[in-house]
Structure 1
Amino acid sequence: MGKKIVVTGGTGFIGSRLVHKLAESGHEVNALVRTSSDLTSLKGCLDKINLVYGDVTNASSLKGVFDGVDEVYHCAGITYMGGKKNPLLQKINVDGTRHVLEASRLAGVRRVVHVSSITAVGISGPNRKFDEESPWNFDTIDLEYARTKYVAEQIVAEEVRKGLDCVIVVPAFVFGAGDINFNAGRIIKDVYNRKMPFYPLGGICVVDVEIVAETLIAAMNQGRKGERYIVGGDNVSFKELAQTIMKVTGVHQLSLPLPIWAAHFITYLLKFSKERNRISKLFNMSMFTVASKFLYFDSSKAERELGMRYEPYEKSIKRTFEWYREHRMLV
């Protein structure tokens, strides 16, 4: 008999790729969605899964959702760099996690895999890679997203102490086909449209969404209770990333290094400029501050314990770009 699985955040980028993979497994797959959810990303597998209605921010709407469920993948979350959505970040990333984990424990769910973020691990600096044991230091930047993802991991630890079997998976900066909301994909689109005349001085750890989805399933099957696993790949500077995207897309633009003090000045000037639409939307100070840091990570624990595979990041950039081009989403 197959397992009963629930995926929260199943319409999101990572969640939808996971749902597509699980839909082929022969198990009963239930995607938790809101009545207002856009189901575009689940096209192609809707006939193989069940839609379950509820909202992670509303504990009472989850009543009965986890009854008789074997496995829960908690992918629901909001990624936002800036100050405008702080209450929403708290409601979804913190309160939502508490509601899902508590309801899972009370329903007797066998195991939960919680999707975290590298901002819950920390800022490595240019010459080292952080791992699962590194001390969290993102509080040196005023970034509510990082705080909420860090607090969500504390909630996981609390629930594990209460008896819930939960594993944490920490994806790096995720590219891939299906990124309809332009999370990491925004960089590809903006380089392609010559909207990136500057690049920040930091660096990032890059991974493909298919590797993340595969590793989430591996974490469910063979991860250790209460452990966290960083799922990343190549560590690259934003300069290298921009150059690789130019190579893949065939579009070249003079792109200059921009230190953080100059970014403050240019951001101020752009407020008054008619040309501001010609500059990437990634150009907000919260995002630029993070991109000026080095978020380099060591994924060897996931490779060792979960069999996570590696591929060069250029392949992921190419796959993402081709998918966007095929779907005419680069305009």
Structure 2
Amino acid sequence: MNKKILVTGATGFIGSRLVIKLAASSDEIFVLVRKTSDLTSLSDVLDRIHLIYGDITDSDSINEAMKGIDLVYHTAGLTYMGDKKNALLYKINVDGTKNILRAALANGVKRVIHVSSITAVGIAFDKKPVNESVVWNFDSISLEYARTKHIAEVEVATAVKKGLDCVIVNPAFVFGAGDINFNAGRIIKDVYNRKLPFYPLGGICVVDVEIVAETIIAAMEKGRTGERYIIGGENVSYKQLADTISRITGAPKIHFPLPFWMARILKSILDLYKNKNSISKLFNLSMFRVASEYLYFDSSKAIRELNMRFEPHEHSIRNAYEWYRDRNLL
């Protein structure tokens, strides 16, 4: 029997790839968008989905959107690494999630997938990849984004206790085709355009957006209520990542490691110059502080329980680069 499925955050990178996959099924797909939303990323499937106008921060519109809905994929959220949008981060990531959970409970939704973040899991301080059972330790870095993603997961746990069937997924650093807003893909663009003359000393877990989207769907089908699943791939240092990007794009190699203490000094010097466009937008201190740690993750639970596939990080970087190149976005 066909199901009615609601997706929030459908115009985002992960959300749009998820909707494209869902639209190929026989289910009825509804996407929550604002009147001002850019629907470019959904242009190929607009004839196969239903648009519902609303906003996750408006509880009335969410309650209305959820009437008659069977399943919800909550991918909406604000990703911002800095301290200038703290109130907005809380409003969207925490209050918005509360509105989704409340409306799902009130309308008898059968299951909700909450798309969280690996910042709600933790940091691998000794470079040993962490799994879902680690105690959240991201508060050792002052990053409001991570704090709001963590609190949103606490809200999910509360809703599960109230009887909501909800599963959490935690995507790692997502690369691939379709990253229209240059989320993780910004590093590819900036290495290609020689705007990143140095690399931070930490590392990240790289995963392709197609794997993320298909694993989120698998979590809806097979995930255990109240559990969370890290959707990750290969753990690589920023040096390895930069080398891969250079090799694939043909850009010169980056040879200079930059420790965080030195980054602070360099940033204060660069801020004195007018032409800031010559250096990557990634070079803000909040982001660089995070990039100086090892965000290495163990995704074996998702491989075991959700049949998540693994592929080397080169594939994702190549997919993303070729997608940008073919559209003249670099």
TM-score, length of structure 2 as denominator length: 0.99
Answering whether residue 113 of structure 2 is matched by residue 121 of structure 1, we say no
8 Å CA contact 1:231, 1:302 repeated in 2: yes
Answering whether residue 293 of structure 2 is matched by residue 293 of structure 1, we say yes
Q: Deviations over 1:98-120 (max 9, x none)?
A: 00011011100000000000000
Query: What pairs with 1:290-329 in structure 2 (closer than 5 Å)?
Result: 290-329=290-329
Name the structure 2 match of 1:263: 263
Counterpart of 1:267 in structure 2: which amino acid? K
- Judging changes above 3 Å, is the alpha-carbon distance between structure 1 residues 163 and 36 closer, same or farther for their aligned structure 2 residues? same
Name the structure 1 match of 2:209: 209
Deviation at 1:63, TM superposition (A): 2.8
Query: What pairs with 1:1-331 in structure 2 (closer than 5 Å)?
Result: 1-330=1-330
**Which residues of structure 2 form unaligned runs of 5+?**
none
8 Å CA contact 2:243, 2:253 repeated in 1: no
Deviation at 1:253, TM superposition (A): 4.0
Counterpart of 1:149 in structure 2: which amino acid? K
Counterpart of 2:26 in structure 1: which amino acid? G
Q: Distance in 1 between matches of 2:292 and 2:127?
A: 14
Q: Distance in 2 between matches of 1:80 and 1:261?
A: 22
Q: Distance in 2 between matches of 1:161 and 1:63?
A: 20
8 Å CA contact 1:113, 1:216 repeated in 2: yes
Counterpart of 2:224 in structure 1: which amino acid? R
Q: Distance in 2 between matches of 1:66 and 1:91?
A: 20
What secondary structure, in the 3-state scheme, does the structure 2 residue paired with 1:30 have? strand
Deviation at 1:255, TM superposition (A): 3.1
Aligned identity (percent) is 65
Deviation at 1:275, TM superposition (A): 4.0
Q: Deviations over 1:135-194 (max 9, x none)?
A: 100101110000000000000000000000000000000001110110000000000000
Q: Which runs of 4+ in 1 moved over 4 A?
A: none
Deviation at 1:29, TM superposition (A): 0.2
What secondary structure, in the 3-state scheme, does the structure 2 residue paired with 1:293 have? coil
Q: Distance in 1 between matches of 2:140 and 2:124?
A: 12
- Judging changes above 3 Å, is the alpha-carbon distance between structure 1 residues 223 and 322 closer, same or farther for their aligned structure 2 residues? same
Q: What CA RMSD, in Å, does the superposition of the two structures yield over aligned residues?
A: 0.8
TM-score, length of structure 1 as denominator length: 0.99
What secondary structure, in the 3-state scheme, does the structure 1 residue paired with 2:114 have? strand
- Judging changes above 3 Å, is the alpha-carbon distance between structure 1 residues 250 and 126 closer, same or farther for their aligned structure 2 residues? farther
Of 275-284 and 292-301, more deviation after overlay is shown by 275-284
Q: Distance in 2 between matches of 1:273 and 1:64?
A: 50
8 Å CA contact 1:132, 1:228 repeated in 2: yes
Deviation at 1:67, TM superposition (A): 1.4
8 Å CA contact 1:126, 1:296 repeated in 2: no
Counterpart of 1:215 in structure 2: which amino acid? T
Counterpart of 2:11 in structure 1: which amino acid? T
Q: Distance in 2 between matches of 1:208 and 1:257?
A: 26
Q: Distance in 2 between matches of 1:318 and 1:98?
A: 37
Name the count of aligned residue pairs.
330
**Which residues of structure 1 form unaligned runs of 5+?**
none
Deviation at 1:125, TM superposition (A): 2.0
What secondary structure, in the 3-state scheme, does the structure 2 residue paired with 1:235 have? strand
Counterpart of 1:158 in structure 2: which amino acid? T
